[in-house]
Amino acid sequence: MKRIRVLVVDDSVVVRRILRDVLAEDSAFEVAGVAANGKIALSMVEQVSPDVVTLDVEMPDMDGIEVLRHLRVSSPSLPVVMFSTLTQRGAEATLDALALGARDYVTKPANIGSVSVGMQRIREELLPKLKAICGGKAAVVPSASSFTPRPTSVSTMADRTGPLDIVVIGCSTGGPNALSEILPQFPADFPVPVAVVQHMPPTFTKFLAERLNASCALQVLEAGVDEKLQPGTIWIAPGDYHVSVYSQGTAMRLRRHQAPPENSCRPAVDVLFRTAAMTYGGRALAVILTGMGQDGLRGAQELKSVNATVIAQDEASSVVWGMPGFVVQAGLADRVVPLGQMAQEIMRRVVASHKSFAVHG
């Protein structure tokens, strides 16, 4: 089996050593080269022909963003995973990198002085992403027979009794760019609220919301403690917080909270989808976009049990066909849609449901 050749680019001696040691432990990888700065990295790409590059965001002389710009020209198909810090500057630079075509990112361990802690973080966070990105999009998707439904706690009595009243979206790897393509297409009079779970740490989600707000006709906000759901607004789940929807009298609300992680994630798509099923029943439209892992699968199951609609992104347009792939293989997707058609598909279904209900309701 061919090993994944990784070019490590980082100006920190400690980080380079940790990355090299962790990669060497796993037989799936081969360290193709190590570069201490961006200029060396660019000269090494042609020499060592890596399958993927791990690229430090903040480096002197030529930072990771500048290196990435050069790589998009010289090696446009070469996957790049950014190595970022959990800081405002790191978050902004990472979002810039994703917009420029980086496939994903990993945040550096806060206590980089502890080699053992740093190595474990990289084993858990970086290596699975490298495998998913380089191992083929379908490699992380199970066969349909491997999905075992669990009994759902949601009543099937909550079938469609009106138009679609909320859009809930879940995504991870590749999600920021997917959201940047879909959400700006929604018009200012889009008739329902939108709630989004994108797997991201704190600070990152704040800047993601701000960037989307600058390009969308709808207002985009990072979800607060408790929000009244209303048309004209898109809420992004904050890093390290789940978001749940619930009813309060005749009002529908969104609250953030720190219940235990699900699928090793907080925020988790399953939490949003599950509470949308309980609160909206068949009047929810769920969208599962590109991402690694299976977060969203159980929530999609509960949504389908109440006759809600579930749409999944197709394999060809996904950076990693993990999250949508699990949903599709389990037979839970009403439609599988390329990213370029997703916004129109969502708008068509929402608008058609409101027109139909106005005529027949």
The catalytic residue positions are 172, 199, 295
Task: Find out whether 154 and 278 touch, Cβ atoms under 8 Å.
Answer: yes
**Among the listed residues 19, 65, 18, 17, the one whose alpha carbon sits nearest the alpha carbon of residue 38:** 65
Each residue of 329-358: b (16+ CB within 10 Å) or e? bbebbeeebebeebbebbbebbbebbeebe
Reduce the DSSP state of residue 3 to 3 states and report it: coil
Residue 220 pairs with which residues in a beta bridge?
Answer: 234
Rounded Cα–Cα distance for residues 344 and 342 (Å): 5
Kindly write down the DSSP assignment for every residue of 195-220, as one continuous string: EEEE---TTHHHHHHHHHHHH-SSEE
Rg of the Cα atoms in the chain: 21
- CB atoms < 10 A from the CB of 261, how many? 14
Structure tokens at 172: 């991870």
Reduce the DSSP state of residue 322 to 3 states and report it: coil
Structure tokens at 97: 């990198």
List Cβ neighbours of 249 (8 Å cut-off, separation of 6 or more). Answer: none
- CB atoms < 10 A from the CB of 255, how many? 17
List Cβ neighbours of 266 (8 Å cut-off, separation of 6 or more). Answer: 240, 241, 242, 258, 259, 260
Burial of 2 (0-12, 13-18, 19+ CB in 10 A): exposed
Strands 242-248 and 251-257 turn out to be antiparallel
Task: Find out whether 241 and 229 touch, Cβ atoms under 8 Å.
Answer: no
